[in-house]
Amino acid sequence: MDPVIQQLVQEELQRQRHGIELIASENFTSQEVLNALGSCLTNKYAEGYPGKRYYGGCEVVDKIEQLAIDRLCQLFGAEYANVQPHAGAQANAAVFLGVLQPGDPILGFDLSHGGHLSHGSSVNFSGKVYQANFYGVEEESGTINMDKVRSKAKEVKPKLIICGASAYSRDWDYARFRQIADEVGALLLADIAHPAGLIAAKLLNDPMPYCHIVTSTADKRLRGRRGGIIMMGKDFANPWGKTNKKGEPIMMSAILNSAVFPGMQGGPLEHAIAAKAIAFGEASQESFVQYGRQVIANAGAMARAFTDRGYQIISGGTDNHLMLIDLRAKSSEITGRDAENALVAADITINKNMVPFDGRSAFYTSGIRVGTAAITTRGLKEHHCEQIIDWMDDAITNRNNPAIIQEIKTKVNKFMMDFPLYP
Ligand SMILES: *Cc1c(COP(=O)(O)O)cnc(C)c1O
């Protein structure tokens, strides 16, 4: 009925099939997730929560949303979950709305060191409404120095400390963050949008016992639909002494639920929630643990291959699915933007990224970020990763030679035919 959009969707499918997808935040969902997203559930309005809706006819979507909540709690060993946030940034916004007052100090990981926009960046509402402060990595080691996090926290007395990042390849010491939070009287939020699937598979440290609140996306490592989630390992009474009409303390679960709706959003997207429920079910299978192991093995193989070819990995390696590569070690001439352009022309999709203490702007950058979640879903193994790094090194080195880039692209497209995506 709409040949223009139909044609463009086909073009995008071909792009996804033929290219090597290394953007660390991307992944490929299952056909079942796609089907749920295209289902009649999109027609239903359901403001409120299961059993407490402001619209009639919610019997079926109540069951779907409850199943999504139950599966998510089971997957992470959480006592509370909210599956309504439309995306990861909205999940964080709801937490901020629930636990902070405008002007309150917060402490997050510096965006230019690998943090996320929604943790207090000056261009995001979180940096405009709250008083944002940051910790970062050490220039020498590329890792977070917890003693410095502690002294920063003692200095700025944040109401909320945020751990989690978009471009940090090392695991997090949630227990130490909690000690610091307790010492300064802050709540602790972990945003695990990137490593969530690896945490669910128990391949990385678990934030649930230490962080008051945990947010994530359902897409990245959880391989579900684009969307946000909020969890708590244990529900607890609000620390501000707020009581309900009966004089009982209000629980954080109630505060977070009302921060999402009606605080931040209108009706939930029930087709998206069904897709999340499917993804949480998939992520609880044994095969998902195997997938997580392969994601980490592939990232390790890539980091070694980059290092062998003269590139520098920030922090010297990776514990998870991603790495940040400082191109300056290879040559001071190469910008992240030039590398991105050459690689994308060869159908190897990555993003330019600032590296800590970058002398270039966010528009040019001195680094690139790569991740292995999407190619591992396609079935690629360690030895394939080495081949990919050969092509990447070739493309970056010959970034001003369109004929060589074209040759690499032809090889990439032929190579990816062996890894089918969707029937
Ligand atoms: C991707 C990401 C988000 C939010 O993602 P949306 O694009 O809003 O879904 C939040 N936090 C971190 C750390 C992320 O990497």
Q: Model confidence over 260-284: pLDDT tens digits?
A: 999 999 999 999 999 999 999 999 9
**pLDDT-derived band at 104, boundaries 50, 70, 90:** very high
Active site residue 217: yes
Active site residue 155: no
Residue nearest atom 10 in ligand 1 by C-alpha distance: 88
Determine the pLDDT at residue 222.
84
Residue nearest atom 5 in ligand 1 by C-alpha distance: 88
Q: Which two tokens stand for residue 335?
A: 């910008």
Measured from the CB, is residue 25 less than 6 Å from ligand 1?
yes
Active site residue 47: yes
- Annotated catalytic residue: which of 17, 32, 47, 338? 47
Active site residue 245: no
Q: What percent of the chain has pLDDT over 70?
A: 100
Element spanning 89, H or E = helix 88-99
Tens of pLDDT, residue by residue over 108-124, are: 999 999 999 999 999 99
- What does the pLDDT average to over 53-81? 97
Residue 193: count other Cβ atoms within 10 Å of its Cβ.
27
Measured from the CB, is residue 118 less than 6 Å from ligand 1?
yes
Contacts of 189 (CB under 8 A, 6+ apart): 92, 95, 160, 161, 162, 163, 164, 211, 212, 213, 214, 215
Determine the pLDDT at residue 226.
85
Handedness of CA 388, 392, 393, 398 (dihedral sign): positive
Active site residue 219: no
Measured from the CB, is residue 193 less than 6 Å from ligand 1?
yes
**What residue type is assigned to position 237 of the chain?**
A
Q: What's the gap in Å between 163 CA and the centre of ligand 1? A: 13
Q: What percent of the chain has pLDDT over 90?
A: 97
Check whether 423 has a pLDDT greater than 90. Answer: no
Cα separation, 120 vs 131, whole angstroms: 8
Check whether 1 has a pLDDT greater than 90. Answer: no
- What does the pLDDT average to over 301-329? 97
Q: What is the pTM of this model?
A: 0.96
Residue nearest atom 6 in ligand 1 by C-alpha distance: 88
Q: Name the residue of 90, 121, 166, 215 whose CB sits within 8 Å of the most ligand 1 atoms, as the mutation to test its pocket.
A: 166
Check whether 395 has a pLDDT greater than 90. Answer: yes
Active site residue 226: yes
Q: To the nearest whole number, what is the mean pLDDT of the chain?
A: 96
- What does the pLDDT average to over 66-85? 98
Tens of pLDDT, residue by residue over 201-227, are: 999 999 999 999 999 998 887 888 889
